[in-house]
């Protein structure tokens, strides 16, 4: 069988699945339960100056009958006493020495406070530190969290302070609340950060109660922008991860992938785009710790099927397949095909193509149902009909190249070719 053990900065764990810094990792009882269920590691909920949380704290986006497609929170860093957290971290390390114990930190923005907090955490026997440069609410008003991550020079300064003191590996967690994660990622790497992680949560408003007119979550009739996570943010996380893998500076260090990971398939996608391991939060808050069993089994089976022996065999394998639009092959062309034996005659493909695409589907009024076929000469291969079809593999896309040679937009323009031929 494939070997799914992970080695992230020398921090070894039996699998690449860590729990992200969040409510599931804020106390000993949770962490021990997670380790017993099989999680490879945890990032302990962020430690720093004492805070006071509010009630309520969470809201969510449901979609098409699926609960918690997106999850929003306005919870701050750990509100438990620092000495209690430190004691419980040490106890967890002793009880499960084979699991990764990384501690998230957000000290007050002075060199002395960072040095003091780092020394206290290292005394617990923790294996690594994660710098929280991403919290988008509450802490930003104090000049912390995303306020650091949104300014590359401030991030560079803080990472520099940390690296003066740290004796265990340091991971810098990036905020997605920026135009690009690359500038802050570069600053962190250049200042000495051993690794990066992303994404932290995205500022959001998940909705408004139409009776009270108060945005969610409601705190005595008021609300604030919260941090958005869960399956809905996965495409954004994958894009930002890929930009780090494509950059010559940020690609020099390993990345821990975060953002909407719910299944082993999600984890594989993150690893294919450059992550060396992954962190999970919302899926556990919805489904509990036991989901790691399916994640490990699924990852193992997929690796066996593909012939990959270790995780390193496919880290970043999909990155070269992401290019620039002007480098795509204009001569590559596909058209849709509808399998009449699988068609349930719902008409969704026809409606979508007729109202929102290229009017490429022919309807034949019938008794007792309508039939649909593709006008291949009109089909542009956009995939819309396939995407809306409720029956798997009823609509397939078939290649019909326009020409034998590879031809991108730059070459197309250079030759002055006529547009109507393509």
332-391 pLDDT, tens digit per residue, is 999 999 999 999 999 999 999 999 999 999 999 987 899 999 999 999 999 999 999 999
Distance CA 404, CA 330 (A): 11
The mean per-residue pLDDT over the stretch 49-73 comes to 89
> Treating both helix axes as pointing N-terminal to C-terminal, what angle do 182-190 and 152-165 enclose, rounded to 10 degrees?
30
What sections of 75-211 are H helices per DSSP? 82-95, 111-122, 146-149, 152-165, 182-190
Distance CA 317, CA 306 (A): 13
Which residue shows structure tokens 């810098």? Answer: 172
CA 420 to chain centre: 40
Phi, psi of 256 (to 5 degrees): -100, 120
Query: What pLDDT is attached to residue 367?
Result: 77
Instruction: Give me the residues paired with residue 374 across strands.
Output: 361
Question: What does DSSP assign to residue 201?
Answer: P
**Out of 47-56, 196-205, 228-237, 261-270, which region has the weakest mean confidence (pLDDT)?**
47-56
Query: What pLDDT is attached to residue 312?
Result: 98
Query: What pLDDT is attached to residue 73?
Result: 92
As annotated, the residues of the chain forming the CATH 3.30.70.20 domain(s) are 325-421
Distance CA 267, CA 6 (A): 13
- Token pair of 32, please? 């021990």
What sections of 342-408 are H helices per DSSP? 348-356, 384-388
CATH architecture of 325-421: 2-Layer Sandwich (3.30)
CATH superfamily, with its number, for domain 6-321: Aldolase class I (3.20.20.70)
Phi, psi of 184 (to 5 degrees): -70, -40
Query: What pLDDT is attached to residue 50?
Result: 78
Catalytic residues: 135
Over 60: is that where the pLDDT of 138 sits?
A: no
The residues, any chain, with a CB within 8 Å of residue 415's CB and separated by 6 or more, are: none
By DSSP bridging, strand 202-204 and strand 226-229 are: antiparallel
Over 60: is that where the pLDDT of 144 sits?
A: no
What sections of 145-261 are H helices per DSSP? 146-149, 152-165, 182-190, 234-246
Are residues 195 and 256 in contact, defined by beta-carbon separation less than 8 angstroms? yes
pTM above 0.85, yes or no: yes
Residues of the chain above pLDDT 90, percent: 87
- Token pair of 147, please? 């306020």
Which residue shows structure tokens 């034949």? Answer: 364
Torsion region of 230: left, alpha or beta (phi above 0 gives left; psi -120 to 50 gives alpha): left
As annotated, the residues of the chain forming the CATH 3.20.20.70 domain(s) are 6-321
The mean per-residue pLDDT over the stretch 386-413 comes to 94
Q: How crowded is residue 48: how many other Cβ atoms within 10 Å of its Cβ?
A: 23
The residues, any chain, with a CB within 8 Å of residue 11's CB and separated by 6 or more, are: 41, 100, 102, 127, 128, 169
* Peptide bond before residue 217 is cis, with ω within 30 degrees of 0: yes
Q: Of residues 147 and 310, which shows the higher confidence score?
A: 310
Task: Report which of 90, 84, 82 is spatially closest to residue 48, judged by C-alpha positions.
Answer: 82
């Amino acid at each position: 069988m494939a070997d799914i053990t992970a080695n992230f900065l020398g921090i070894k764990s039996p699998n690449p699945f860590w729990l992200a810094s969040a409510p599931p990792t804020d106390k000993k009882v949770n962490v021990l339960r997670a380790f017993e269920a099989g999680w490879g590691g945890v990032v302990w909920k962020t430690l720093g100056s004492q805070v006071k949380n509010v009630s309520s704290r969470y809201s969510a986006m449901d979609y098409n009958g699926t609960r918690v497609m997106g999850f929003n929170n306005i919870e701050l860093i750990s509100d438990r006493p620092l000495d209690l957290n430190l004691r419980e971290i040490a106890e967890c390390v002793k009880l499960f020495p084979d699991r990764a114990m990384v501690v998230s930190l957000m000290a007050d923005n002075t060199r002395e406070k960072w040095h003091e907090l780092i020394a206290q955490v290292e005394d617990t026997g923790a294996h690594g530190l994660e710098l929280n440069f991403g919290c988008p609410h509450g802490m930003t008003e104090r000049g912390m969290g995303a306020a650091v991550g949104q300014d590359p020079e401030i991030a560079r300064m803080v990472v520099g302070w940390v690296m003066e003191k740290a004796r265990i590996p340091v991971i810098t967690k990036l905020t997605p609340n920026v135009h690009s994660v690359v500038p802050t990622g570069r600053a962190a790497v250049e200042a000495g950060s051993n690794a990066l992680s992303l994404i932290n949560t995205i500022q959001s408003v998940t909705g408004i109660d139409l009776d009270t007119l108060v945005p969610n979550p409601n705190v005595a009739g008021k609300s604030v922008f919260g941090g958005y996570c869960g399956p809905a943010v996965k495409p954004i996380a994958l894009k930002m991860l890929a930009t780090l893998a494509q950059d010559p500076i940020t690609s020099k260090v390993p990345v821990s992938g975060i953002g909407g990971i719910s299944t082993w398939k999600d984890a594989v996608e993150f690893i294919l785009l450059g992550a060396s391991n992954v962190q999970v939060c919302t899926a556990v808050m919805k489904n509990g710790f036991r989901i790691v069993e399916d994640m490990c089994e699924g990852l193992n089976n997929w690796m066996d099927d593909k012939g990959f022996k270790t995780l390193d065999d496919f880290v970043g394998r999909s990155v070269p397949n992401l290019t620039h639009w002007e480098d795509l092959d204009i001569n590559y062309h596909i058209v849709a095909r509808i399998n009449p034996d699988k068609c349930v005659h719902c008409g969704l493909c026809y409606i979508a193509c007729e109202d929102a695409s290229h009017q490429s589907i022919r309807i034949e009024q019938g008794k007792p149902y309508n039939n649909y076929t593709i006008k291949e000469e009109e089909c542009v291969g956009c995939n819309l009909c396939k995407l809306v079809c409720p029956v798997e593999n009823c609509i397939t896309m078939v290649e019909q190249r326009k020409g034998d040679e590879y031809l991108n937009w730059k070459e197309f323009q250079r030759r002055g070719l006529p547009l109507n031929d393509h």
